[in-house]
Structure 1
Amino acid sequence: MLRPAEERDVQAMREWRNQAANREVSINQHVITPDEHRAWWERVLVDPSRRVLVFEYDGRALGIVNFFDIDERSAQWGFFLDNETTTAEGTAMLAWMAVMREATNYAFDELGVDVLGGEVLTHNEAVRLMNRRFRFTEGEPETREVDGRTITVIPISLRREDRRGQGARAAGALD
Structure 2
Amino acid sequence: MERETHVLREATPEDVHLMLSWRNQETNRQASKTNHEITTEEHFRWWAAVRSDPSRRVLVYVHDDRPCGVVTFFDLRLDGPRTGAWGFYLDGDGLAKRGETLPAWLGVMREAVEYAFDGLHLDRLNGEVLAHNTAVRQMNRRFRFVEGTPRQEASDGREITVIPISLSREGRRHR
Q: Which stretches of structure 1, 4 residues or longer, exceed 4 Å deviation after superposition? A: none
TM-score (norm 1): 0.94
The aligned length equals 166
Does residue 1:148 correspond to 2:143, yes or no?
Answer: no
1:168 corresponding residue in structure 2: none
Alignment of 1:39-50 (within 5 A): 39-50=45-56
2:69 corresponding residue in structure 1: 63
Deviations 1:141-167 (A, max 9, x none): 0100111111000000000001002xx
Deviations 1:20-61 (A, max 9, x none): 010011000000000000000000111000000000000010
Structure whose residues are more often helix by fraction: 1
1:5 pairs with 4, 8, 11, which one? 11
TM-score (norm 2): 0.94
Does residue 1:162 correspond to 2:168, yes or no?
Answer: no
2:130 pairs with 121, 136, 145, which one? 121
The unaligned stretches of length 5 or more in structure 2 are 1-6
* Identity within the alignment, %: 55
The unaligned stretches of length 5 or more in structure 1 are 166-174
Distance in structure 2 (CA, Å) of the matches to 1:147 and 1:81 = 21
1:104 corresponding residue in structure 2: 113
Alignment-mate amino acid for residue 121 of structure 1? L
